[in-house]
Structure 1
Amino acid sequence: MRLPEGRRIVVALAAVLAVAAAAAVVHRVLAPAEVSTTARSAYPPVATPPVGVIGRLPVAPLVIDGRLRVYVGSRQVYADQPVDGKHRVTPFWSYRRWPATLDGVLADGTTVVSSWSDGVLVALDARTGRVAWRADRPEPAEVPKPRRTYASTVWDPAGLHVARADGRAVLVAAGAGQLDGYDLADGRRLWRVDRERGCIGAAGTTATGEVLGLDACDGPETVEFRDAATGAVRTRWRPPGSPDELVVTPVGCRSGHSGCRGLRISGPGDGMGRGWLVGPGEPVAAPALDGADAELDGERVVGTSTGVVTGRSARTGEELWRRADLGPVRIIAVEPGRVHLLTEQRDLVTLDPATGAERSRFAMNIGHDGVGWVPGRAYAAGGYLAVERVRERATADDDDQAYFLMAEPVLLAAT
């Protein structure tokens, strides 16, 4: 049956409008987008929680300014408050991007910098959640998929570090064969180093304002120290008797791998390493830092290799103090002025690295969760400590359900 001419026009117009509406919906859903939901209440005051376990969380937090907790998802950075809340609550502010995914997040003071898979850096003001600046970053290197706590994304962000140099905070972003330095205050790029893909990188920054990295562009791998303000190489160095390939682990850091006072160097698969202090000029040997069971605070090394906890001078190895009353312990995190140890009974013991004096001790348990777990990744800042709880028989190949103890595997404590 043939429709009248007028009816055919109406049907055709309706079809065109339907297609246009569908296209608009698809565009709105799939087109690149940015959604920023800023804070609607005042910046919270500094919290003073009692010593002990505060609560449990499904994802890893960053503690900001003693006031907020910042978390991430695959495409979101968000904050909640109060910092000592027992559970994660409604976001204080939130920032989302689509379709890019998060590679890493770094916090310094009240600035939260996020690195995205499409090569964009976005800095947020933690006090409000507002975007402070955006910048292009080096092509990101491949980042392993994080587990559902996103601990690797926020506690060990790939290729993101901060240094203090020439009176400013400098953000260092490393990518595939490229290093960039930015003024953290406004995102202005200060310098760029562009080399062959995969032959340079940044392992961290030093307390004296240098970018610590490896150069494998010509010959055996060499440790480089670059001026964080200009990107210029200050020192090139290879430890005596080292193999062609090096593994560099910063230690004694102010936060993450930023503002570090030492490093440990080993060969691939070595797992031990030799310790060195870093500062102006070439690194200085620090035998007390040798091995993976020693940590650095300033120029004091806290170690557990002898079955007791000791504090030693990093330069001379002289024993400064000894604690033989703690039993078998494991150092799980260090922050300036605090070293956090976990006992076999899952007590968290926090010591003063200068004297060995006990700052706090309590059971890392909440409710009826129990202590049948082993520590995964851990983080400490401003007197707070967070640790992943991993099943005792879990392996790295297990999926998240089999790997983590429960749906809220992260414990947050005040020390």
Structure 2
Amino acid sequence: MGIPRGRRAIAVAVAALLATVAVVVIVHRVLAPAEVSTVARGAYPAAAQPAARVIGRLPVAPLIVDGRLRVYAAHRQVYADQPVDGRYRTSPFWSYRRWPAELNGVVASGSVVVSRWSDGQLVALDAATGRVRWKTDGPEPTESGAAVRRTGAATVWDPRGLHLTELPDGRTVVVVSGDVQARGVELSGGRELWRVDLPGSCRSDVGTTASGQLIGLDNCAGPAAVEFRDAATGAVRERWRPPGGSDELVVTPLGCRTSRSDCSALRTTGPGDAGGRGWLVGTGEPVAAPALDPAGAVVVGEQAVVVLDGVAVGRSARTGTELWRSADLGAARVLAAQPGRVHLLTEANDLVTLDPVTGVQLSRFSLNVGRDGTGWAPGAVAAAGGYVAVERLREPVDPDGDDNRYYLTAEAVILAAT
């Protein structure tokens, strides 16, 4: 005997319904927004004090955090490894992943790591454990149009629209901006301090000052102007144009503690400028600093350092008085700077580190690891906590080439302690 036709139809309908439910459940589990936090199982490592040398090579760009960890960016993940002076990348110490949002930028201060995502969400992680300290919504990031290469250097070394600054009362503020809005959030607990509407893509934020201000460039109405916004309240305190400056401006922050955050100076350039003009920034109107005018000049504390005709020269950034010069470096160039150190790269890819106050050489060694050699060109660079990390590019550099052509090796980043 067969199953009656009516019952058979019911059974087919039930089976189809169950199959549909199963598919819906599977699709939901796969595609639904989710986050996965894998916290640290071991103790927070001690800060390392390695000798001045090449430490090793890495496939991705490290953000040195608290002198103890290296934090990296992936497409939908921020993660850390340790020890900070390890020769190679190791298994994650902790990891935080979101779906379907994409990681847009990472900054860190002390033991707090702040990540920004394509949906605008800010997530602060505890560096010691990887646990989420706070989450808050922010403006969606501006579409930069720039290709994100495999090292992730742009995400951890130069995140646009994501900055830190310290207020006079000691609080640290995360300033995050998009095309149409900017917000200030306290680093310690994620409390929003302010939010302001912005006019759109005719205005952009370029960094923060060491005196607690957000630096913006406004091209919306009339000649370009530099805008200084109070990071505690969101109010614009100063709108400024370089005397005799062009109606078009490019503003580059200088003397930053990390990336474009907590900067002590800036350079303005316009059509017809040979290198630009340097300015010290504080609580009032920027002050001209001719020692920072030459292209390639950097400022470290109160000192400006530049290489002119093969000679490294240190000057007072405020007065221009020459403090020292070093003529034994050959055809060197200023590579990067950080508090207490200025780093130069010679024609032979030796890394030379000088004291910016005295010009005394602190270390010098070849940026070579294994059998890679020194036949490469420097790409993106980061300097913090006594370390220097450099992308190594294949010569001749092809900016339009794919990653295999663009980078020297699969482990393209060389890390050194200075």
Is 1:305 aligned to residue 308 of structure 2? yes
Asked if the contact 2:351/2:366 (under 8 Å) is kept, the reply is yes
Partner of 2:188 in structure 1? 185
Cα separation, 2, equivalents of 1:399 and 1:276: 38
Deviations 1:79-135 (A, max 9, x none): 011111111111010000111111111111111111111111111111111111111
Cα separation, 1, equivalents of 2:389 and 2:194: 35
Equivalences for residues 42-61 of structure 1 within 5 A: 42-61=43-62
Higher mean alpha-carbon deviation, 136-145 vs 290-299, is at 136-145
Q: Kindly provide the amino acid, as one letter, of the partner of residue 63 in structure 2.
A: L
CA 1:62–1:269 in 2, change beyond 3 Å: closer, same or farther?
farther
Is 1:152 aligned to residue 154 of structure 2? yes
Alignment counterpart, residue 293 of structure 1, candidates 289, 296, 303: 296
Is 1:37 aligned to residue 48 of structure 2? no
The percentage of counterpart residues that share the same residue type is 64
Cα separation, 1, equivalents of 2:181 and 2:170: 24
Equivalences for residues 85-100 of structure 1 within 5 A: 85-100=86-101
Partner of 1:15 in structure 2? 16
- Tell me by how many angstroms 1:270 deviates: 5.4
Is 1:253 aligned to residue 243 of structure 2? no
Asked if the contact 1:375/1:387 (under 8 Å) is kept, the reply is yes
Q: Which runs of 4+ in 1 moved over 3 A?
A: 1-12, 268-271
Asked if the contact 2:294/2:306 (under 8 Å) is kept, the reply is no
Q: Kindly provide the amino acid, as one letter, of the partner of residue 367 in structure 2.
A: M
Asked if the contact 2:352/2:363 (under 8 Å) is kept, the reply is yes
Asked if the contact 1:221/1:246 (under 8 Å) is kept, the reply is yes
Deviations 1:341-367 (A, max 9, x none): 111111111110001111111110111
Partner of 1:282 in structure 2? 285
Cα separation, 2, equivalents of 1:18 and 1:86: 51
- Tell me by how many angstroms 1:257 deviates: 1.0
2:308 alignment partner, SS class: coil
Q: Kindly provide the amino acid, as one letter, of the partner of residue 292 in structure 2.
A: L
Cα separation, 1, equivalents of 2:155 and 2:274: 23
Asked if the contact 1:76/1:94 (under 8 Å) is kept, the reply is yes
Higher mean alpha-carbon deviation, 22-31 vs 333-342, is at 22-31
Deviations 1:225-260 (A, max 9, x none): 122111122221100111112111010111111111
Is 1:409 aligned to residue 412 of structure 2? yes
Asked if the contact 1:178/1:200 (under 8 Å) is kept, the reply is no
Structure 1 unmatched ranges of 5 or more: none
Asked if the contact 1:177/1:199 (under 8 Å) is kept, the reply is no
Asked if the contact 2:82/2:90 (under 8 Å) is kept, the reply is yes
Deviations 1:238-297 (A, max 9, x none): 001111121110101111111111100002695721101111211111111012221101
Cα separation, 2, equivalents of 1:59 and 1:271: 35
Is 1:208 aligned to residue 208 of structure 2? no
Asked if the contact 1:53/1:365 (under 8 Å) is kept, the reply is yes
Equivalences for residues 12-411 of structure 1 within 5 A: 12-143=13-144, 144-165=146-167, 166-267=169-270, 272-411=275-414
Asked if the contact 2:184/2:192 (under 8 Å) is kept, the reply is yes
Cα separation, 2, equivalents of 1:31 and 1:270: 52
Cα separation, 2, equivalents of 1:89 and 1:269: 49
Q: Kindly provide the amino acid, as one letter, of the partner of residue 31 in structure 1.
A: A
2:24 alignment partner, SS class: helix
TM-score normalised according to structure 1 size? 0.96
- Tell me by how many angstroms 1:138 deviates: 1.6
2:257 alignment partner, SS class: strand
Cα separation, 1, equivalents of 2:54 and 2:301: 27
Cα separation, 2, equivalents of 1:274 and 1:28: 55
Cα separation, 2, equivalents of 1:204 and 1:10: 65
Cα separation, 2, equivalents of 1:65 and 1:355: 27
- Tell me by how many angstroms 1:2 deviates: 8.0
Asked if the contact 2:377/2:397 (under 8 Å) is kept, the reply is no
- Tell me by how many angstroms 1:201 deviates: 2.6
Asked if the contact 1:293/1:305 (under 8 Å) is kept, the reply is no
Q: Kindly provide the amino acid, as one letter, of the partner of residue 357 in structure 1.
A: V
Asked if the contact 1:390/1:404 (under 8 Å) is kept, the reply is yes
Cα separation, 2, equivalents of 1:224 and 1:197: 15
- Tell me by how many angstroms 1:139 deviates: 2.8
TM-score normalised according to structure 2 size? 0.96
Asked if the contact 2:65/2:111 (under 8 Å) is kept, the reply is yes
Deviations 1:303-324 (A, max 9, x none): 0023210101112222110100
Q: Kindly provide the amino acid, as one letter, of the partner of residue 314 in structure 1.
A: A
Cα separation, 1, equivalents of 2:34 and 2:147: 22
Q: Kindly provide the amino acid, as one letter, of the partner of residue 254 in structure 1.
A: R
2:404 alignment partner, SS class: helix
2:108 alignment partner, SS class: strand
CA 1:147–1:84 in 2, change beyond 3 Å: closer, same or farther?
same
